[in-house]
Amino acid sequence: MQALMSFESAPPYAAPLRFFLTAPLFAVLAGLLIAFEGPDIFVSRWMPAVLAVTHLLTLGFMLQMMLGALIQILPVVAGANLPRPLLLATIVHAGLTSGALLLVGGFYFGLPVLLNSAAVLLALTVLVFLAAALQALIGVPSTSPTIRGLKLAMFSLLIVIALGVVMALAMANGWPLPLPVLADLHAGWGLGGWAGVLLAAIAYVVVPMFQLTPGYPARPSWWYPLTMLALLLIWSGAVLVDAPGLVRLSQALAALAGLAFAGLTLRLQSKRRRARADVTYRYWQLGLVGSIFALFMLLTAAIWPAAGELQGWTMIFGILLIGGGFLPLIIGMLYKIVPFLTWLHLQNLGQAKVPAPNMSKILPSLDMERQMKAYTAAILLLLVAAVWPEWLSRVAGLSFALASGWLWLNLFGAIRRYAEYKVDIEAKLAVILAAR
Amino acid sequence: MTHAKTPYVVDARYLEAPEPFVKTMEMLDHLKEGEKMLLLLFREPHPLYKVLKQNGHAYETELLPDGTFEVLISR
């Protein structure tokens, strides 16, 4: 039985963990940059520091976590085995980490050489990942909405990175491109097509599994990824033929699709059979509510563009969707994945002769709950700071850095305990084997 | 619990890992040659598929409108 429980194809512990431990540091950096810049950072989304903070969070935190988690879970959720997972993790982690730092530095200091090298490095890194994922998924039929969602999300990632590379090169080399329109499209593909569809594809599996809710109904689950992709293609076409009305229509419909998914997930959560609301559940509630507010703002601005021009509108939208939406959803999942993964590796080490410690000893609930409260407070402070930057921007930035640092500490604690238990289990195992 | 496809059913839809896996392997042990069992889950159990293949069990999966995956497994 024990041999059956261990997934031989699962990558070693070190493969995903390097991503999980690096990502929070990018969030710390984002918080520190907000604190350092102070009120000025809330003036416009085109400020170099805002571009830097946005990409610290989307590339440095989100993409880092997502690719690390995918390397771990593709065999489990899709039956797709990545070739040489540890080598892939090493290359992707190194490329993504240095590429994100170069890009953020390029934005912040306005240095073309950094932007150029970031564009090349990030393009190569994502292509390496996508090539490996393609090789793993190509023979896997889309037997579930999850597998179809994963494939469509990866197609979106290709578009996101292509648009991003073109814009970075345009900024660095002064190409005459309509950057604001392209930036919206890049964000749409990144947050809607890649992150949003990937999140849904994974949610179909992990929401019922982690929170003991009913399953996602099959029909909308099949359609959600396709609808999102179709709307993004229409949006892209509308940009190409310069049809602003069609751009707004596709944005409004994408917002509605996202709202339907978030609303459905909240409804499933309300029917869960787990009595106690654990930290994953609460982080998901925060993430869903944050996304719903953000998507309502997107819908409003698509119908009534003047709203988008209001002071602080774009900042609040970004804080809600990224800081209050995607990040909490990702951290919520991480707080299940890391203890489980640690437990699984310890369990395998014990060879069914020495039991692994309980998961709550690997990452105590209290540590996670306190960190979640600090994180929620930081998001609220950031929202208030977007309205009254003079008052709170530095405090909000510092508190975000603190909450993200706390996340790092919690994850590091799990890895430290893994090392301690590993020594303990190996010693006990040696005694048992020697006594035979 | 029984089902039109087979009287041997593991309804693992609200069970935590690794219970669905353990219960399925236990029920497979009790089946006679030629008998089939049904596993109900809200996800496709890819790690279980791998074990089933290794042990020579045939299986067939159907996704129902409510999001239940019905996995019909032969002994």
For residues A52 and A107, is the Cβ–Cβ distance under 8 A? yes
Residue from B27, B46, B51, B71 whose CB has the most chain A CBs within 10 Å, to mutate: B46
Any A CB within 8 A of B56 CB: no
Q: Is the pLDDT confidence value at A5 over 80?
A: no
SS (H, E, C) A374-397: HHHHHHHHHHHHHHCHHHHHHHHH
Residues of chain B neighbouring A5 (CB-CB closer than 8 A): 18, 21
Instruction: Check residue A347 and give its pLDDT.
Output: 87
Give every CB contact of residue A294 below 8 A, 6+ residues apart in sequence. Answer: A317, A320, A321, A324, A325
CB neighbourhood size of A251 (10 A): 23
Q: Can you tell me the distance from the alpha carbon of B70 to that of B67, in angstroms, rounded to the nearest whole number?
A: 10
- How confident is the model at residue A311, as a pLDDT? 87
Interface list for A 34-93 with B (CB within 8 A): 75-79
Chain position carrying tokens 């593709």: A74
C-alpha torsion sign, points A149, A154, A155, A156: positive
Which domains occur in chain B, in start order?
9-74 (3.30.110.40)
Q: How far apart are CA A92 and CA A397, in angstroms?
A: 29
- Stretch 217-246 of chain A: residues touching chain B, C-beta under 8 Å: 217-219, 221
Which residue of A2, A137, A144, A211 to mutate against B (max B Cβ within 10 Å)?
A144
Is the model's pLDDT at A58 over the cut of 50? yes
Average of per-residue pLDDT across A87-113 = 98
Which of A1, A77, A208 minimises the CB distance to B42?
A: A208
Residues A304-362: tens digit of each pLDDT: 999 999 989 999 999 999 999 999 999 999 999 999 899 988 988 888 889 899 888 99
Q: Which two tokens stand for residue A331?
A: 């951290």
Q: Is the pLDDT of residue A165 over 50?
A: yes
Residues A152/A197, Cβ–Cβ less than 8 Å: yes
Indicate whether A98 pLDDT > 90. Answer: yes
Quick one: CA torsion of A41, A43, A48, A49, rounded to 10 degrees?
10
Peptide bond into A112 cis (omega under 30): no
How far A218 CA sits from the closest chain B CA (Å)? 5
Task: Look at A212 and B65 and tell me if their CB atoms are within 8 Å.
Answer: no
* B51 has a chain A CB within 8 A of its CB: yes
H or E stretch including A37?
helix A14-37
Nearest one of A201, A116, A218 to A155, comparing CA atoms = A201
Q: Which of A89-93, A275-279, A338-342 ranks highest by mean pLDDT?
A: A89-93
In this complex, the residue of A7, A212, A221 whose CB is nearest that of residue B14 is A212
| Percentage of residues in chain A having pLDDT higher than 70 | 98
Q: How many CB atoms lie within 10 A of CB A427?
A: 11
Structure tokens at A358: 């309980």
Report yes or no: A209 at the B interface, CB cutoff 8 Å. Answer: yes
DSSP output for B1-14? ---SS-S-EEE-TT
Report the CATH superfamily, name and number, of domain A2-434.
Cytochrome c oxidase-like, subunit I domain (1.20.210.10)
Give the pLDDT of residue A111: 97
Burial pattern A315-347, b for ≥16 Cβ within 10 A else e, equals bbbbbbbbbbbbbbbbbbbbbbbbbebbbbbbb
Inter-CA distances, A384 with A22, A311, A312, A392, Å: 28, 13, 10, 7
Average pLDDT over residues A381-406: 96
> What is the rounded CA–CA span in Å between residue A181 and residue A251?
13
How far is the C-alpha of A71 from the C-alpha of A80, rounded, in Å?
A: 10
Q: How far is B34 from chain A (nearest CA, A)?
A: 23
Sign of CA dihedral A267, A273, A274, A276: positive
DSSP H/E element including A226:
helix A218-240
| Structural tokens at position A208 | 């019922």
Look up the ipTM and state it.
Answer: 0.94
Distance, in Å, from the CA atom of A394 to the CA atom of A301, rounded to the nearest integer, reads 28
- Looking at residue B1, its pLDDT comes to 65
- What value does the mean pLDDT of chain A take? 94
Structural tokens at position A292: 């719903």
CA distance B43 to chain A (A): 6
Q: Whole-angstrom distance between the N-terminal and C-terminal Cα of chain A?
A: 22
pLDDT digits (tens, 9 = 90+) for A125-146: 999 999 999 999 998 999 999 9
Over residues B15-73, the pLDDT tens digits come to: 988 899 999 999 999 999 889 999 999 999 999 999 999 999 999 999 999 999 999 99
